[in-house]
Copies of this chain bind each other. A is one copy, B any other.
Amino acid sequence: MAGVSAATVSKVLRGVASVKQENAKRVHDAVKKLGYRMDPLASGLRNEQRRIIGAVVPDLESPFFGALATGLEKAAEEAGYAMIIASSRESEAREADLVARMNDWRVAGTILTPVRSERGLGAERLHALNMKAVLVDRVSADRRFDTVTADNYAASASVADLLLGAGHSRILLHGATRISKSVRTRLQGFTERARAVGSKARIDTLLSEEDPEAQRDAVFRYFEGLDPAERPSAVFSLSQHSTLLVLSELRRRGVRVPADIALIGFDDADWMQTTWPSISAVAQPVAAIAERAVAVLLARVEGENTGFPVQHLEPCTLIARQSTGPDRVPAMKTQFAE
């Protein structure tokens, strides 16, 4: 229709090589008149690199990963890449399978949030298939891939400062669901800070990985085995799920929050600011993580970055609400440095 060859059309549409003004215009006119849209699939076939980014997350039902997926998609789109999102549903085998499938699609790069850590089947497969990738969220530094996570360590250290500063002398750290790398890092951040400041506080840790009922039981037995006088005066729950679980169990036992026990959780959620007492929480910078992950990946994909893998830490925000006690800390956002 424009009276030129397909090759010329291809050039015009990708704005690549030299095409005369006049012909370019005729092509654009024809495109508009015909409502032509190129087939991204056929387009990708010829070239090694397809403008697709794959994303594998452990779960889409939690607001955190939902928000992460949204952010990733948005960032990818802005960079002109399509994004394929898949959920490993907390299964490592499925995770490795999805990675292989991403490779089948010849994606330009992959963003993986592993089920457990950077030493899982997914990352291994990524490496074996020689794919470009960024690991996100449940990882620490890695030798093969760039990583992007919330600064779990620093945020947890801040929580330690908050609780120890408020004078708590016996503290329970509680983790439920899958004990991922993130959870371990949070644990470490808290305990190491406590040790570093020479705190004499006694710190219990309770981690349970099994089904919800078993987790509930574990909390129950923990409190059952304690003299009320011995009871911790504060709980730091290491995941949103854990916060919910602990809160529920405390309520069942008639323990008052924060009068009897203070509570602060990792990961913020809508309901936490609405429930009574409102729950203090560490909010993760989801949008920043997503943007950074895509940026870092594309720098690799487009060959701008060929250096050693880098670990990127995005700062969290500590939100002190009622559950950590009145007046001890102002009920406002506390942004802390990186």
A244 within 8 A of B: yes
The docked-state distance in angstroms from the alpha carbon of A290 to that of B87 is: 15
The docked-state distance in angstroms from the alpha carbon of A276 to that of B252 is: 10
User: Nearest B residue to A276 by beta-carbon distance?
Assistant: B251
Q: Which of A66-74, A137-145, A298-306, A309-317 contacts B (4 or more CB under 8 A)?
A: A66-74
Instruction: Indicate whether A45 sits within 8 Å of B41 (C-beta atoms), given known contacts A62-B66, A73-B87, A244-B270.
Output: yes
A207 within 8 A of B: no
The DSSP consensus for interface residues of chain A is helix
Give A254 Cβ to nearest chain B Cβ, in Å: 11
User: Nearest B residue to A69 by beta-carbon distance?
Assistant: B60
Give A86 Cβ to nearest chain B Cβ, in Å: 7
Give A101 Cβ to nearest chain B Cβ, in Å: 8
Q: Which residues of B contact A66 (CB under 8 A)?
A: 59-63, 65-66
Q: Which residues of B contact A269 (CB under 8 A)?
A: 271
A100 within 8 A of B: yes
User: Nearest B residue to A55 by beta-carbon distance?
Assistant: B85
Across the interface, do B60 and A89 meet the contact criterion of CB distance under 8 Å? no
Across the interface, do B63 and A70 meet the contact criterion of CB distance under 8 Å? no
**Copies of this chain, tallied across the complex:** 2
Q: Which residue of B42, B104, B275 contacts A275 across the interface (Cβ within 8 Å)?
A: B275
A18 within 8 A of B: no
Residues of A at under 8 Å CB distance from B? Answer: 37-42, 44-45, 50, 59-63, 65-67, 69-70, 73-74, 82-87, 89, 100-101, 103-106, 244, 247-248, 251, 269-271, 273-276
Q: Which residues of B contact A83 (CB under 8 A)?
A: 86
Q: Which residues of B contact A63 (CB under 8 A)?
A: 61-63, 66
The docked-state distance in angstroms from the alpha carbon of A247 to that of B271 is: 10
Q: Which residues of B contact A248 (CB under 8 A)?
A: 273-274
The docked-state distance in angstroms from the alpha carbon of A70 to that of B42 is: 28
Q: Which residues of B contact A61 (CB under 8 A)?
A: 63, 66-67, 70
Q: Which residues of B contact A85 (CB under 8 A)?
A: 85
Starting from the known contacts A37-B100, A60-B66, A60-B73, 17 additional A-B residue pairs (CB-CB under 8 Å) come to: A37-B103, A37-B104, A40-B104, A60-B60, A61-B66, A62-B66, A65-B66, A66-B66, A73-B86, A74-B89, A84-B84, A244-B270, A247-B274, A269-B271, A271-B275, A275-B276, A276-B276
